[in-house]
Amino acid sequence: MFTALFILIFLGASLASIAGILALRAWLRFRRVRVRFQTEISDEVVRLSARTDELEKGVNSLSERASTLPMRISELQRNIVVLQTLTASLAASLRQAQRVLTFSGMKTISSSALGDALRPLFDRIERS
């Protein structure tokens, strides 16, 4: 009887330690992937932010050039205003994304919420 109990206890402890080791390995793998993901997303947001700054400068330059034309084209000016508004909102969104992607922000946001928040960005990137 004592031997059977000892075997069951030993078997249970062995299974628990194997499960613990597997859980630890999965957690370490998750941390590596999360760090890599955070680095890649942060780099991409910085790159997009720089491109947005260039776009804003180009749009502002285009606006200045359009205002100096002898014949003002109202539709062109309206389109430029809309483009300026869109680039300004894109820049604001990217600044917010940079704030969210800080280490403390990554700790507070769950991965599914982050994925849902960034899905439109990835969809736009894939389409372009």
Q: Is the pLDDT of residue 21 over 90?
A: yes
Radius of gyration (C-alpha) of the chain in whole angstroms: 27
Range in 10-24, 31-45, 61-75, 106-120 with the lowest mean pLDDT: 106-120
Q: How confident is the model at residue 26 (pLDDT cuts 50, 70, 90)?
A: very high
Using a cut of 0.75, tell me whether the model's pTM lies above it: no
**Structure tokens that stand for 123 in this block:** 């969809």
Tell me the pLDDT tens digit for each residue of 91-104: 888 888 777 777 55
What is the pLDDT, as a whole number, of residue 23? Answer: 93
Q: Is 106 among the domain residues?
A: yes
Domain count within the chain:
1
> Kind and range of the H or E element at 69?
none
Q: Does residue 59 sit within a domain?
A: yes
Q: Look up the domain containing 42 and give its range.
A: 36-127
Tell me if 56 is assigned to some domain.
Answer: yes
Q: Using CA of residue 73, residue 74, residue 75, residue 80, what is the dihedral sign?
A: positive
